[in-house]
Amino acid sequence: MAINSGKEYIESLRKLKPNVYAFGEKVENVVDYPLFQPHINAAAMTYELANDPEYADIMTATSNISGEKINRFTHIHHSIEDLVNKVRMMRLLGQKTGTCFQRCVGLDGLNAVYITTYDMDQKYGTDYHEKFKKYLKYVQDNDLMLAGAMSDPKGDRSLRPHQQPDPDVYVHLVEKKDEGIVIRGAKAHITGTINSHEILIMPTRTMGEEDKDYAVCVAIPVNTEGVTLIFGRQTNDTRRLDGEIDCGNAKYGIVGGETLIVLDNVFIPWDRVFMCGEYDFSGQLVETFAGFHRSNYGGCKVGLADVVTGAAFWTAENNGVEKAPYIRDLLAEMVSMAETCWSCSLACSYEGSKTKSGAYTINPLLANVVKLNITRFTYEWMRLAQDIAGGLIITLPSEKDMVNPEVGKYIDKYFGGREGTPTRDRIHMVRLIENMAVGAGLPEALHGAGSPQAQKMMIGRRSNLKDKKDIAETIVGIKPDKHFEKITGKTEDEYFEKFRKCG
């Protein structure tokens, strides 16, 4: 693989120099900016593990294009096993980082565009799929990280894109030229952008004919002229500047590091344009992408649940209450909810299917159920972790007080737990729980990959209520039950003769 370690990945970012702003300043050096480093380390884990022979089966795959061994984060799923390995990879990385490792959005975008461009070409005779395969080979050969950019700012939600007073609240086509196209607008809340090599821009919703200029899918290098990235704030983000402990997870941070991507008349050559006006495929692209990303949440978030459950158990042990029945009960609840989500993620992978393009996709109904469960259960298992950790989760003094020569000794004395465990470790573990159970990870579990209503809409569309009604009608005898007749040797009218006569 082109990038042989997490460290090499970090070095590969140095030369890109994207146009980034954070905390009111232009960030000249993304890699060494302290507030970004945990996010970059988390993404680096996707490279580090792919180069570790212990994880080769899960973290790497064979390219259907080049036949070479590639990082699974650039792979197009070509079997059920691929789909299952993808969610195994997500859980593993969640366990290793305790946070969002960001790279899955680009992976899901690659798979969704692969499937959709194939179908577009079948209908319109375009050459998007072949162009996309060439781009994909470039991504795979160079082991690039992509930010998947789907969410537009959306302005007035009651208006369609073409009705907005400001047309730029949805990314749109400005001009078609001989050599390429020009687009303008913005993408909001986009994970991992500052430390990606490329941005894959996709439409955000189903478009009608009047919105065809908004049906645009392109790929651009992160440092393309006209692109500005404005980094979002997160809970306790400046604690990263205060040392190691207060942050909770100073190594890998909290959630993914999101940006507003501003696209100010950005030029894209035709070989990087994968949809331009084919509005009737925008919905397919969005749904395919959303299905993939929602299926992931039973992997990555369950990996996080493993971490917080471990932290809660450690804290209970250190408090001397690990055998108390109520603690065992809470831990069992946490594990049960997490494994329910994991089962759902595995199920939507095992129930996946082959698309016309040859790539495999997940079962979309189950993928939306995965994500809907995550929006609820994450809050619940994090609540139980708070319960086990106790009130000091929000009352502990700072790390600076711990090392203060006047008061540090009191913190060491009065915040200690079971004898033999350093107070520093106890406080660090509680801070980890605070980081995961109180911070930005909660709304991320709610809104990442779409809000609960977005999942309910998809579930509603695919829930097949008519069939369920038929089943119920058959059970009560409104519809004929041929199996019942075979079992009893009588029609239902004959079988229930005595009763039906009275009716």
Active site residue 300: yes
Alpha-carbon gap, residue 397 to 457, rounded angstroms: 45
Residue type, 210: E
> How many chain residues bind ligand SF4 (CB under 6 A)?
11
Q: Which residues pair with 269 in a beta bridge?
A: 180
The catalytic position among 9, 60, 97, 104 is: 104
Burial 437-470 (b: 16+ CB within 10 A, else e): bbbbbbebbbebbbeeebbeebbeeeeeeeeeee
101 belongs to the binding site for ligand SF4 (CB under 6 A):
yes
Sole window of 79-87, 95-103, 175-183, 276-284 interacting with ligand SF4 (rule: CB under 6 A): 95-103
User: x-or-dash pattern for ligand SF4, window 15-34, by CB under 6 A?
Assistant: --------------------
- Binding to ligand SF4 (CB under 6 A) within 288-317 occurs at 296, 300
Q: What distances in angstroms separate CA 286 from CA 216, 254, 259, 423, one per listed residue?
A: 12, 26, 20, 49
Provide the minimum distance between the beta carbon of 300 and ligand SF4 in the complex, in angstroms, as a whole number: 3
Active site residue 293: yes
Our CB check for ligand SF4 shows the closer of 146 and 273 to be 146
Active site residue 46: no
- Binding to ligand SF4 (CB under 6 A) within 173-192 occurs at 191
The catalytic position among 9, 47, 297, 360 is: 297
By the 8 A CB rule, do 218 and 274 touch? yes
Alpha-carbon gap, residue 180 to 177, rounded angstroms: 5
Provide the minimum distance between the beta carbon of 281 and ligand SF4 in the complex, in angstroms, as a whole number: 24
Active site residue 97: no
Provide the minimum distance between the beta carbon of 319 and ligand SF4 in the complex, in angstroms, as a whole number: 31
Provide the minimum distance between the beta carbon of 229 and ligand SF4 in the complex, in angstroms, as a whole number: 17
Q: Which residues contact 498 (CB under 8 A, 6 or more apart)?
A: none
In which residue are the tokens 């002229």 written?
225
Residue 77 DSSP label = P
Active site residue 104: yes
361 belongs to the binding site for ligand SF4 (CB under 6 A):
no
What does the block give as tokens for 222? Answer: 């992160």
Q: What distances in angstroms separate CA 101 from CA 15, 57, 92, 121, 304, one per listed residue?
A: 21, 19, 11, 33, 11
By the 8 A CB rule, do 373 and 340 touch? yes
Our CB check for ligand SF4 shows the closer of 101 and 135 to be 101
By the 8 A CB rule, do 348 and 362 touch? yes
User: x-or-dash pattern for ligand SF4, window 71-90, by CB under 6 A?
Assistant: -------------------x
DSSP string for 133-182:
HHHHHHHHHHT--EEEE-----SSTTS-GGG-SSGGGS-EEEEE-SSEEE
Provide the minimum distance between the beta carbon of 484 and ligand SF4 in the complex, in angstroms, as a whole number: 46
Active site residue 247: no
Sole window of 54-62, 99-107, 339-347, 407-415 interacting with ligand SF4 (rule: CB under 6 A): 99-107
Select from 172, 204, 184 the least CA-distant residue to 262. Answer: 184
Q: What distances in angstroms separate CA 123 from CA 128, 129, 131, one per listed residue?
A: 12, 12, 16
Among 22, 104, 263, 388, binds ligand SF4 (CB under 6 A): 104
Residue type, 297: Y
Provide the minimum distance between the beta carbon of 443 and ligand SF4 in the complex, in angstroms, as a whole number: 12
Active site residue 191: yes
Our CB check for ligand SF4 shows the closer of 164 and 249 to be 249
Q: Which residues pair with 175 in a beta bridge?
A: 182
By the 8 A CB rule, do 304 and 100 touch? no
Distance from first CA to last CA of the chain, Å, rounded? 75
Sole window of 94-102, 212-220, 264-272, 474-482 interacting with ligand SF4 (rule: CB under 6 A): 94-102
What does the block give as tokens for 217? Answer: 């899918």
Active site residue 258: yes
By the 8 A CB rule, do 116 and 291 touch? no
User: x-or-dash pattern for ligand SF4, window 415-454, by CB under 6 A?
Assistant: ---------------------------------x------
111 belongs to the binding site for ligand SF4 (CB under 6 A):
no
Our CB check for ligand SF4 shows the closer of 203 and 448 to be 448
Among 105, 316, 327, 433, binds ligand SF4 (CB under 6 A): 105
Our CB check for ligand SF4 shows the closer of 100 and 218 to be 100
257 belongs to the binding site for ligand SF4 (CB under 6 A):
no
Sole window of 100-108, 178-186, 208-216, 426-434 interacting with ligand SF4 (rule: CB under 6 A): 100-108
Provide the minimum distance between the beta carbon of 420 and ligand SF4 in the complex, in angstroms, as a whole number: 36
DSSP string for 466-495:
HHHHHHHHHHHTSS--HHHHHHHSS-HHHH
The catalytic position among 48, 258, 399, 434 is: 258
Provide the minimum distance between the beta carbon of 445 and ligand SF4 in the complex, in angstroms, as a whole number: 8
102 belongs to the binding site for ligand SF4 (CB under 6 A):
yes
342 belongs to the binding site for ligand SF4 (CB under 6 A):
no
106 belongs to the binding site for ligand SF4 (CB under 6 A):
no
The residue ranges that bind ligand SF4 (CB under 6 A) are 90, 100-102, 104-105, 191, 256, 296, 300, 448
The catalytic residue positions are 100, 104, 191, 258, 293, 297, 300, 444
